[in-house]
Structure 1
Amino acid sequence: MDLTMNNKIFQDITSYTEQVKQEMHASASALIIMKDNKIVHEWYSGTHHFEKGARKIDNSSRFNVYSTRVTYVGLAIALAVYEGFLGLDDRLSDHLNEYDREILGDTTIRHLLTRCTGLKFENKNVNRVFDVATNIEGKRPDILAKILYKATGKTVNEVLSNRVFKPLNWKNTGWVTEGDHHLVCDINSSESYPTLRIGSNIGDERNLYVSARELALWGNLHLYSGMFEDSEILPKEIFDLATSVQSPNTLPSQLPKFGFLWWIKDSEVSVDYNELGSDLPDGSYQILGASGCSCTVIPEFNAVADRMYNSLNASENLGFDYVSDIQMFGNLVISSVDKMKFYIK
């Protein structure tokens, strides 16, 4: 695809990505679209922070993906389920003996993965805030990581490094324990000092830094059910688990549906509760992080799109609407990919 044709096809989504960068007061952004197992559009803008001498964004720049990381925890759990270390319907009380068993009750790993436990964990205490599988709640990947370690003796990072990252030779994905010139800083506003979130390499904290290319390849690995360049990295069944609806039937139909922490497009879900754009077909799945980083997978179009930002708290500081934004992004992905058939014969 020549540059002129590429610009025509992806002009709208590229312009929108840059517009959002400005609205969020992010210093950096990146956009990658994959179609039919190859990158068809790649774009970078800005610098690692706003200070003098900041490095320009390029294909080795690594962004903190924040909640996008939960899909990495989800895949590690899916692998443990496939290999028999865990069961989706195992009770949490069978794996978390430090919490009150009566309060945990019949709550299962499935409920934890699909965000409907009704539980609130605080240190070694747990309280019930709503009946299990009747509403949705925030994500608790740290609890899932704890369960994984108890069941397998391995951390999320160990599982994914040995089974995914190293076999694929991914050098720009990992939980960061120290600073590096490839890391993109977080920005709380255009006036604040840039920061980096450093933590352990266990895989249960919000310090997963990924390049735009490798986040796109992460989505593509799911789209192709574990296949990479004619080699099976992990069995297909693991990805079928992770990316199909696992939410229990008792959950009200208008509420969001989840796989292994992926948001999954379902026509029954109310637009008031949906992060996925209205034009995305059913079966599409997506994840969004607090910094604006996201990954969208569209099996019907054989496409993956990810975009990166480095702005935190834009909703509180600037009134930025994350949900409307990610819905618009998904719709622009569809319109962009749809244009390809008119330009490429």
Structure 2
Amino acid sequence: MPRPAFLPSRRSLFAAACVALLLTGCAHGRLDNPAIPQVDAAMQEAIGAHKLPGAVVHIEHDGAVYERAYGRLSYEADARPVETSTVYDAASLSKVLSTAPSVLKLAEEGKIDLDAKLSSYFPECANGGKEAITIRHLLTHSSGLPAGLPAKPAWHGDAAAHALACGQVVTHPPGTFFRYSDINYILLGQLVQKVSGMPLDEFARTRIFAPLKMVDTGYLPLRRMGTGGAALIAPTQKGADGAGSAHGDLAPGQLLQGVVHDPTARRMDGVAGSAGVFTTARDVARYARMLLRGGELDGVRILSPESVRLMTTAQSPGGIEALRGLGMDINSPYAVRPRGTVFPVGSYGHTGFTGCVLWIDPGSRTFYVLLSNRVYPDDKSNVLELYTRLGTLAAQAASP
């Protein structure tokens, strides 16, 4: 007897289920492991302790996925619940989602020489001991430059940021000392624009995010989503009487929601090599899958295998104990917490000040993503212990 036209076949039901799984970030199936309830308990405990109002966690092992949203966008009683599609300010994850891969793509095309001097691209930076800085030094945070640009006297715009960066004096000879520095990646973002002729946000959108189908990822989300889209974005800092605070530039009661939290990136109108990307956990998961597959996903090549190797394996100059790839953290002091106690040295990732983590273990083909707004409302919450717990549990979730 023929099947009525309105009744779906088993094959079509299976196909629909697969589509649903893909839309929720599940590549092959649900990750089911005794560690998963402990992940839920860790997140609920952190939310209950007001460490963060809400978050999204995505854990993936060889295609099996666990993804869940927790809490609310803020602590207000009527706040919207977090969804797996909630957009978060990724802070310094921007360095590895946008800036480093953009530089490496341009290097693949012969437009950037990773071993060239910074001053060969920016002659105005040839002073203050910066003459020996190479592009590799910037990517591995071994340039000797200070950690960040000064906020005073007041300044605004990309050109002002560039002038300030080029006016800095190194504290150590380039290639001899590790210091995590936003200035390194601000200069790299400006390098992308100079050699490509495209602003960093446009280059990253057209060459990384769009081809990778990271549909919710980019700079300046309100420009893409409209002001009404702010309700779908987790808020970060709220202005208060904070003289001397890094965010003393916020008016009392002013809420950053869809506007970048990082004050330097905000002075640069929301687009910087150091910060500014907004994203979702499922988009970051696509990026992680691409790296685990040697730079290709769904038949689309984003990076060459060599670029992935450079980004994700130790490239720090000899004699520097802190190990960094050309983008990813491998074994610097910042790696200890997100790596947890099980993932080995050789796994890699990055964190973001707003409460974000991407950590990947290529050996077990496991990674986890945490997106949160732990900086709401005053950036005083500490979630480093949570990073350690999640890193450990993510590794345990990959165990038989």
Give the Cα–Cα distance (whole angstroms) in 1 for the partners of residues 100 and 274 of structure 2: 14
- 3-state SS of paired residue (1:33): strand
Deviation of 1:298 after TM superposition, in Å, equals: 0.7
Q: Which of 151, 154, 157 is the equivalent residue of 2:201?
A: 157
> What residue is the counterpart of 1:264 in the other structure?
330
Alpha-carbon deviations, 1:267-297, whole Å to 9, x = none?
xx7x797443232123210111111111011
Name the amino acid aligned to 2:75. Answer: F
For residue 335 of structure 1, what is the aligned residue in structure 2? 396
Please, what is the CA RMSD of the aligned residues?
3.0
SS in 2 for 1:305: strand
Q: Scaled by the length of structure 1, what TM-score is found? A: 0.84
Aligned pairs for 1:106-145 (under 5 A) are 106-120=132-146, 122=149, 123=164, 124-140=166-182, 141-145=185-189
* Aligned counterpart, 1:54: 79
Say how many residue pairs are matched.
Answer: 328
Q: Which has the higher strand share?
A: 1
Q: Is the 8 A contact 2:214 2:286 kept in 1?
A: no
Is the 8 Å Cα contact of residues 284 and 297 (structure 1) preserved in structure 2?
yes
| DSSP 3-state at the match of 2:391 | helix
Aligned match of 1:185? 235
Aligned-partner SS, 1:17: helix
Is the CA contact (8 Å cut-off) linking 2:102 and 2:203 kept in structure 1?
A: yes
Secondary structure, in 3 states, of the residue corresponding to 1:301?
Answer: coil
**Counterparts of 2:117 and 2:60, CA distance in 1:** 39
Cα pair distance change 1:99/1:203, threshold 3 Å: closer
Which is further off, 141-150 or 10-19? 10-19
Distance 1:86 1:183 in 2: 35
- The one-character-per-residue Cα deviations of 1:41-66 (angstroms, maximum 9, x if unpaired) are 01111222233542221122101011
Q: Are 1:285 and 2:348 matched, yes or no? A: yes
Q: Please give the residue correspondences for 1:1-345 in structure 2 after superposition, counting only pairs within 5 Å.
A: 6=32, 8-36=34-62, 38-51=63-76, 53-71=78-96, 72-101=98-127, 103-120=129-146, 122=149, 123=164, 124-140=166-182, 141-178=185-222, 179=227, 180=229, 181-187=231-237, 194-196=255-257, 197-198=259-260, 200=269, 202-204=271-273, 206-251=275-320, 253=321, 256-265=322-331, 274-275=336-337, 276-312=339-375, 317-318=380-381, 320=382, 322=384, 324-338=385-399, 341=400
Q: Specify whether residues 59 and 184 from structure 1 end up closer, same or farther in structure 2 by C-alpha distance, changes over 3 A only.
A: same
Structure 2 Cα separation of the partners of residues 84 and 170 of structure 1: 26
CA gap 1:116/1:188 in 2 versus in 1, 3 angstroms = farther
Q: Which ranges of structure 1 fall in alignment gaps of 5 or more residues?
A: none
TM-score computed with the length of structure 2 as normaliser: 0.73
- Structure number with larger C-alpha Rg: 2
Q: Is the 8 A contact 2:374 2:383 kept in 1?
A: no
How far apart are the structure 2 equivalents of 1:273 and 1:59?
Answer: 26
Aligned with 2:278: secondary structure?
strand
Structure 2 gap segments, 5+ residues each: 1-27, 150-163, 240-252, 261-265
